[in-house]
Structure 1
């Protein structure tokens, strides 16, 4: 960390936060002690003139972050996915953070493309427009290929953005360190871990090859989803700082008048937006985690077209099953099962009372089911659910926080298209289909088959593994206290799988 630079950035950031009124809002969201709030504001008030005034029409925090520049805007966007850190209300404000910045020149974009692709611009494109969209990290141009005349979207990183972000990330680490030192109570929020999470996301977005790979994988997963489309990546014209996709015409999902002019069933589209998100999260374990209206277009035939794949969410198979069972339990109002799933997954400490937890869940679910369709909100349910689980000692799970945040955004998109949509009725068939395929006897047999295939690869080593395991167990019976419930279940499954393999071998030998 470079001391002078970081100290100046800290002063400038604090001064801007104070000048825009964001300081008090942020400290309240972090639940900072009153003494610390007074100290912070006392230190920053005399130097607030060093801060940037920003756009007074924006809420304080979004105003401050927008004024401070691209890295702060992106930080705010990513923090909108972490209500566990910034609080529900501030996360809601950050979700509307503007990501529209002044574009850089067409000439600079052309220079980057020529340098990255190793060809003159005119050799690649017969047409290349001025910027059609500009964000904190990159901007998009509309172009036409010289080879076949097809229209494409060309995304180009901002010049020098990597160096600028690197400086600001260093400053963020310094600020996090200062906060942890001066505000010990903040350590439960792990400020430096939060910055590390931000760094990981941004570093991925600063390499457009990774976003191209995300778009390509998402397209492969969803190519058979009727009414949903992902533009195809042109790999020959994509690199670390340039990404080229097929151009798709359509109305922005935010423009209701333009959608109505297409003469499509807006209610059906609203339903499909929600169902596609759930299908991608549950079926594929890979979903668009920034699925707001600005990243969706509606084609002339009503097809939903997804754009911008910088932030994607991933869930492993086990987490998907847990999430589906939780949703299914709420849909059926089976709160005991929802409680049991939390305990079985190890989300809630085993020393808590299942029945008491189930009653707390009922207090969350029943009022929502009593509402009319226009007020039923899965986002509200998930928000209440996290409050309850926090009271019962559930640790923060980043992947579920991201899923919850995306669910809130997707529900908002669906409601903007159809204000009368019944979220539960729309979600039910998707969740039920997943449960039928992935929970129960059929899934157990499939899992057992997968386990047997894995064990077969270790065939020659199985006797040695079994002997080592049994020797270790003979020295520590009963099972060690640190062994989790899932670990014990895994060992039982291992034993059952070995038995199955041995049984199959014996059957084949005597057949």
Structure 2
């Protein structure tokens, strides 16, 4: 981890940050102590001439990261989802990062495809274009299937990208060690854990089978969503280093002139993008976490088409219910209920005062709801909410941070299509629908039925378990006080059976 390569990478990173003017911005955003500031300047300033220039038209931090290469670009994109680490302002700056890089030659892509398919290219594809898009990890070619003639998109990993990322990740660990050593107070931000999170995300993106699986799951979840499409995965033409999807015709959601020329209703598209994101997050607990304009198209029939499934978010059912109740509480301005939900979920320590917390939440909601409808932001509200909850002792929940960050991006997409959109008016029916189906008597019956199904799996073993409990009860351990566990266990079995019976009865009546 601390070899010559990594030390050189550390020096080059510092020099590039100095040369591009990014060093001061980063140290300020991280509230770095004096020891780190001095060390960073010592590492960067004397070697400034070794640093990379980057694109002067880009803001300093994105400029430095882009100049340093694919791993740094991807790291910046991941950090843009972690305002709890870099601060909200820096997270916003990092969101402008684009990983558009020069493509590698078509001939190299062909070699990758033939090696992965263990067959000549023309046996699988009758056409295979030059690159149509290139990013830090892979690039995309338009192709046509040899057997059916259907157009497809073939995503191919950059040759040697795994090794290059592995080297840079090792250098990131050295930088994290360096920061933690010089500033023990920085450990509250867990720099090495942040690098480990980045490593996990990138290692998944470097295996295109995982992205294909995400696309397949997302397509299955959204198959009945009217006005929304996910390209079909060609499983037999996908592997670790290549992925094949149905080709998606359409215009990018960022091309407003083309959307207008084709006669699509931009207001309807804006509402659909926002509502679909919320529906996927709440209903499915699995959502596209990189829904910027570059990953969304408008099909000729007006459907919204999602692309690029490298970054997906997942939240469990309980968290979804909590999230929905929090949103509905704010929509209704019921700050007391929002506070109670936080306490019921265990997000805020029980020794805090519910009334004081509700008062703090009012300070979050009222200024936002007092804005003009076109400026009301759900993402901004969640950001303020996390600041308040942190003051009341709530620990950072990374799944909600990712949700909040994606919400900001989706709101930006919606407003670009319809500057006058009222985010809360559009969101309300989706949240209300979810609450109706998942919170209350109907949800309780469904939960009981699920519990009964789980308990039913133990049905064949219940006689044995009951017999073992009775034998243990009639033959208590010698020289020790008889354990009350068998008796409790027997009560547990009886309780489980009663719960199952209650659930079945509820289902009938």
* TM score, norm. by length of structure 2: 0.92
Matches of 1:200 and 1:182 in 2, distance apart? 26
Change (3 A) 1:349 1:27: same
Per-residue CA deviations over 1:53-92 (Å, capped at 9, x if unaligned) read: 1111111110110000000000000110000001101110
Partner of 1:245 in structure 2?
245
Matches of 2:437 and 2:492 in 1, distance apart? 20
Report the alpha carbon displacement of residue 502 of structure 1 after superposing the two structures with TM.
6.2
Q: Is the 8 A contact 1:22 1:61 kept in 2?
A: yes
Q: Is the 8 A contact 2:233 2:246 kept in 1?
A: yes
- Tell me, yes or no, if structure 1 residue 384 matches structure 2 residue 372: no
Partner of 1:454 in structure 2?
454
Partner of 2:342 in structure 1?
342
Change (3 A) 1:352 1:236: same
Matches of 1:185 and 1:44 in 2, distance apart? 22
Q: Is the 8 A contact 1:52 1:67 kept in 2?
A: yes
Q: Is the 8 A contact 2:325 2:338 kept in 1?
A: yes
Matches of 1:391 and 1:503 in 2, distance apart? 42
Q: Which runs of 5 or more structure 2 residues have no equivalent in the other structure?
A: 477-481, 486-490
Change (3 A) 1:447 1:213: same
SS in 1 for 2:8: helix
Matches of 2:123 and 2:505 in 1, distance apart? 68
* TM score, norm. by length of structure 1: 0.92
SS in 2 for 1:346: coil
Report the alpha carbon displacement of residue 200 of structure 1 after superposing the two structures with TM.
0.6
SS in 2 for 1:148: coil
- Tell me, yes or no, if structure 1 residue 207 matches structure 2 residue 207: yes
Partner of 2:220 in structure 1?
220
Partner of 1:322 in structure 2?
322
Q: Is the 8 A contact 2:448 2:500 kept in 1?
A: no
Per-residue CA deviations over 1:282-323 (Å, capped at 9, x if unaligned) read: 000000001111000011121000000001001111010010
SS in 2 for 1:395: coil
SS in 1 for 2:355: helix
Report the alpha carbon displacement of residue 373 of structure 1 after superposing the two structures with TM.
1.1
Partner of 1:255 in structure 2?
255
Partner of 1:109 in structure 2?
109
Q: Is the 8 A contact 1:19 1:51 kept in 2?
A: yes
Q: Is the 8 A contact 2:35 2:182 kept in 1?
A: no
Matches of 1:501 and 1:306 in 2, distance apart? 42
Per-residue CA deviations over 1:126-183 (Å, capped at 9, x if unaligned) read: 2111111000000001111111111111100000000001111111111111111111
Q: Is the 8 A contact 1:270 1:413 kept in 2?
A: yes
Q: Is the 8 A contact 1:32 1:185 kept in 2?
A: no
Partner of 1:155 in structure 2?
155
Partner of 1:39 in structure 2?
39
- Tell me, yes or no, if structure 1 residue 57 matches structure 2 residue 57: yes
Matches of 2:50 and 2:314 in 1, distance apart? 42
Matches of 2:492 and 2:269 in 1, distance apart? 43
Matches of 1:372 and 1:331 in 2, distance apart? 15
Partner of 2:479 in structure 1?
none
Alpha-carbon RMSD = 2.3
Matches of 2:505 and 2:298 in 1, distance apart? 59
Task: Please give the residue correspondences for 1:48-447 in structure 2 after superposition, counting only pairs within 5 Å.
Answer: 48-447=48-447
Please, which moves more after superposition, 26-35 or 48-57?
26-35
Matches of 1:71 and 1:501 in 2, distance apart? 52
Matches of 1:370 and 1:350 in 2, distance apart? 31
Q: Is the 8 A contact 2:452 2:503 kept in 1?
A: no
Q: Is the 8 A contact 1:330 1:365 kept in 2?
A: yes
SS in 2 for 1:231: coil
Q: Is the 8 A contact 2:35 2:183 kept in 1?
A: no
Q: Which runs of 5 or more structure 1 residues have no equivalent in the other structure?
A: 478-491
Q: Is the 8 A contact 1:71 1:165 kept in 2?
A: yes
Change (3 A) 1:100 1:337: same
Report the alpha carbon displacement of residue 210 of structure 1 after superposing the two structures with TM.
0.6
Report the alpha carbon displacement of residue 39 of structure 1 after superposing the two structures with TM.
3.4
SS in 1 for 2:421: coil
SS in 2 for 1:141: strand
Matches of 2:188 and 2:493 in 1, distance apart? 37
Report the alpha carbon displacement of residue 29 of structure 1 after superposing the two structures with TM.
1.1
Partner of 1:499 in structure 2?
498
Report the alpha carbon displacement of residue 329 of structure 1 after superposing the two structures with TM.
0.6
Please, which moves more after superposition, 214-223 or 12-21?
12-21
Equivalenced residues, count: 490
Report the alpha carbon displacement of residue 499 of structure 1 after superposing the two structures with TM.
3.2
Q: Is the 8 A contact 2:291 2:410 kept in 1?
A: yes
Matches of 1:175 and 1:390 in 2, distance apart? 27
Matches of 1:121 and 1:31 in 2, distance apart? 53
Matches of 2:64 and 2:102 in 1, distance apart? 17
SS in 2 for 1:313: strand
Change (3 A) 1:317 1:44: same
Partner of 1:10 in structure 2?
10
Per-residue CA deviations over 1:173-194 (Å, capped at 9, x if unaligned) read: 1111111111111100100100
Matches of 1:154 and 1:104 in 2, distance apart? 14
SS in 2 for 1:374: helix
Q: Is the 8 A contact 2:54 2:66 kept in 1?
A: yes
